[in-house]
């Protein structure tokens, strides 16, 4: 599995948990910077943006299914208050959780489904090529100099 696939697996398997970008990067075996860049290049979304959209999509399904308490759904989705959840929900879907629950349907919502990585769509890179040539000389400085100091 490549780092993006590992990050997707980790996010999907820990979706209800409070996870950080550091934990996702550690599960992928790469740095925060690398997992952020690789995930964005492969999926077109940020890691945390994907996780937020997935949590809100699952919350929308619960609400449409008749969840009696919006606060419980908000807490399960990782939000600390009804207000924060409603604000994020409105930004994601353009409607309120109350309206989705009243309609009992997610038909008009743009839900984010789990991303399935298809390795056949990834760009196949050629293996590295090693060249043998004649020897050459590399020159450089052997010491560091601070700005504003005189050279010997």
Residue 80 has which token pair?
Answer: 């600390």
Residue 69 within any structural domain of the chain: yes
CB-hemisphere CA count at 13 Å for 2?
Answer: 14
Q: How far apart are CA 92 and CA 53, in angstroms?
A: 7
Residue 140 within any structural domain of the chain: no
- pLDDT, one tens digit per residue, over 123-137 is 566 777 888 888 887
Residue 149, pLDDT above cutoff 70: no
- The total of other beta-carbon atoms located within 10 Å of residue 11's CB is 23
- One domain, residues 11 and 40: yes
CATH number at residue 97: 1.10.10.60
- pLDDT, one tens digit per residue, over 94-131 is 999 999 999 999 988 999 998 886 655 555 667 778 88
- pLDDT, one tens digit per residue, over 64-95 is 998 889 999 999 999 999 999 999 999 999 99
Give pTM, 2 decimals. 0.72
Residue 33 has which token pair?
Answer: 């910077």
- One domain, residues 61 and 78: yes
Residue 130 within any structural domain of the chain: no
Q: How far apart are CA 93 and CA 74, in angstroms?
A: 15
- One domain, residues 39 and 63: no
Residue 141 within any structural domain of the chain: no
Residue 146, pLDDT above cutoff 90: no
Instruction: Show the domain range for 18.
Output: 1-44
Residue 66 within any structural domain of the chain: yes
What's the rounded mean pLDDT across residues 29-41? 92
pLDDT recorded at residue 50: 94
Number of domains in the chain: 2
Residues 58 and 77 sit within 8 Å (Cβ to Cβ):
yes
């Amino acid at each position: 599995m490549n780092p993006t696939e590992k990050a997707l697996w980790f996010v999907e398997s820990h979706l209800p948990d409070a996870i950080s970008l550091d934990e996702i990067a550690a599960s992928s075996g790469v740095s925060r910077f690398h997992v952020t860049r690789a995930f964005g290049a492969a999926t077109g979304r940020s890691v945390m943006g994907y996780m937020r959209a997935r949590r809100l999509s699952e919350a929308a399904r619960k609400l449409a299914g008749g969840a009696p308490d919006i606060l419980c759904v908000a807490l399960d989705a990782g939000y600390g208050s009804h207000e924060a959840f409603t604000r994020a929900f409105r930004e994601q879907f353009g409607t309120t959780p109350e309206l989705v629950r009243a309609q009992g349907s997610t038909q008009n919502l743009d839900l984010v489904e789990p991303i399935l990585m298809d390795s056949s769509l990834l760009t196949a890179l050629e293996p590295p090529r090693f060249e043998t040539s004649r020897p050459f000389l590399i020159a450089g400085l052997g010491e560091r100099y601070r700005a504003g100091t005189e050279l010997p």
